[in-house]
Amino acid sequence: MPTWACVSTPRSNVSASGEKLDNARMVWQSYPVIKGLIGVGLLMALLVFCYRRVFINYAGQEDRRNGRAALAGWIATLVLLFAAGIYGNFAYFPLRWSQAMFTRDNGITSLALNPVLYFYSNLDTSRDTRELDKTQQTYGVVANYLGVDQPDSVKLSYVRRQPGDSTKPRLNVVVVMMESTGASITSMFNNPMMATPNLKQLADSGILFRNFYIPNMSTARSVFGVTTGLADICIDQTASRHPAIVDQRVILDQFEGYEKYYLLGGNTNWANIRAVFTNNVDGIKIYEEGYFKSPKADVWGVSDYDLITESSEIFKAANDRKQPFIAFLQTADNHEPFTTTPGAGDFKRVTEKDIDMVKFRESGFLSVDQFNGIRYLDYNIGHLMKKAKEDGYLDNTIFLFFGDHNIKLNPYHFMEKPEVEMATWGHHVPFIIYAPGHIKPQVINETGSLVDVYPTVAGLVGMPVKNYTMGVNLLDSSRQQGRYAFLVYHKNLQPYHALIGDRYLYEINPKTGETALFDLEGDPLKDVKKDHVDTAQALDKLTRGYYESTRYLMFNNKKG
């Protein structure tokens, strides 16, 4: 799944030579370098000896030549053997370092890693670094914003103990990531085409967060962000592909007594996502392409309809055993090529003849195929709810639905804010919590972020956790600080780091150093920094601090 936006930031004060030194130190500490060099030397000597013996043996024989067919056969065989060795796997995807991250035993992981590829992967991420001095300078404002238990600008603690509630039932949890689902294409936000009636029904019966954002635009970045509680701010590639970042202390791992599932219709080797789950969530069960009985629908694996059908069987089995579970269910069909199936036989694609083209042009959709994609996703959300009821786990399960990012659209103007011009259109996504009989319907206008999902889930089920991340419980009524979401976006071909809250949007251009403050209750396109100096200064510190703390935690939040 594609990565859309990459942001450029100033280079770290860690030089390129320093990065190479870090890699060299990693190799020296992780592998038997001296013994390895001696072994390689002995192997080369043996090869030279064997080559000389073979050469001398054949040099004394009568001249003979192989035919062209035989020569081509030998060459083809050697090429195939080398290609197989490079691919290294019998599966659809090639062997990747993420497959080595299946255990928390560093010795086993190091043995399974390919040292050459691992070394190359680290060199390929040389621009993604952390700067301790900047983190310490901005730590205080971030610690205050997060409500850190014991602030320490030297040790840089970010720990908050989120108390549990034993009186709450241990409900099942199903977190559904909706592929390419931005707020602006859904019925809850008044898109003229009203393509998502099932989602709207869930929003009307549950909790709808109207101002919820993802930090950075790509599926892999969103999976990393929601799982780790850290915005993926890597520059050259996604954090899930960075070997030095994949090891994190996550809240999902702390759900004691729960079975943990990750379900995807395709293969979890994409973007090395497998390592994000297996390396950080003890005992997680992964259900992916190859497990499901249904055939592949397209390049993304089995269809969302079949994924939900077979996933519901897994949920039902756990529920029948009285075993609480928490599942991350990742959809994929609302993505090019927008493959749809008849589902239960009642899903039908529409054509231009079936729709009001005046409304369609106002909606932002680029094509009817794209419109059918979101209709099909909504259809499958309805299918999940039907299966949950039929299979008996609807009433004791919390369902959470969020979009991983918006989809490419034509400019539109029906939203409350001009988010296309603000450059926030791709980050604004729906977030719905639905738990019939357990939560009261409400609309929450306070800002929320993708990194807040699991702290909120822990609060919903009363699970005591230690929060080491940048996320907060969105339903914590005792929180006094205003809530903000950190964004990385591009505007006029320029990169920006930004914080968006209930009233203000503050942005920093890391290339030029230029800053701006926008009043979302006034003119959201007018820079009012000079009119609100104190607010601008406070948000400048928090924006820079949020970025520096995230960079620090990405490299320094490893499990102890």
For the cut 50, the answer to whether the pLDDT of residue 373 exceeds it is yes
How far is it, in rounded angstroms, from Cα 188 to Cα 205? 12
Average pLDDT of the chain is 88
pLDDT of 480:
72
CA distances from 543 to 29, 152, 155 (A): 36, 20, 21
- For the chain, which domains are there? 16-49+93-123 (no CATH), 132-158+490-556 (no CATH), 176-476 (3.40.720.10)
pLDDT of 312:
98
pLDDT of 275:
87
- The pLDDT-based confidence of 99 (bands split at 50, 70, 90) is low
CA distances from 249 to 97, 256, 557 (A): 20, 15, 6
- The pLDDT-based confidence of 9 (bands split at 50, 70, 90) is very low
For the cut 60, the answer to whether the pLDDT of residue 419 exceeds it is yes
For the cut 60, the answer to whether the pLDDT of residue 421 exceeds it is yes
Q: What is the mean pLDDT of residues 401-412?
A: 96
pLDDT tens figures, 522-543: 999 999 999 999 999 999 999 9
* Residues of the chain above pLDDT 70, percent: 85
pLDDT tens figures, 255-298: 999 999 999 999 888 888 988 999 899 999 999 988 999 999 88
Which candidate, 465, 442, 453, 398, places its Cα nearest to that of 165? 465
Instruction: Report the range out of 11-15, 70-74, 218-222 with the highest average pLDDT.
Output: 218-222
For the cut 70, the answer to whether the pLDDT of residue 353 exceeds it is yes
- The pLDDT-based confidence of 4 (bands split at 50, 70, 90) is very low
pLDDT of 122:
55
For the cut 90, the answer to whether the pLDDT of residue 112 exceeds it is no
pLDDT of 59:
76
Q: What is the mean pLDDT of residues 145-152?
A: 96
* Residues of the chain above pLDDT 90, percent: 70
- The pLDDT-based confidence of 82 (bands split at 50, 70, 90) is confident
pLDDT of 363:
97
Q: Which residue has the tokens 């996604």?
A: 238
Which candidate, 215, 170, 144, places its Cα nearest to that of 404? 215
How far is it, in rounded angstroms, from Cα 266 to Cα 283? 20
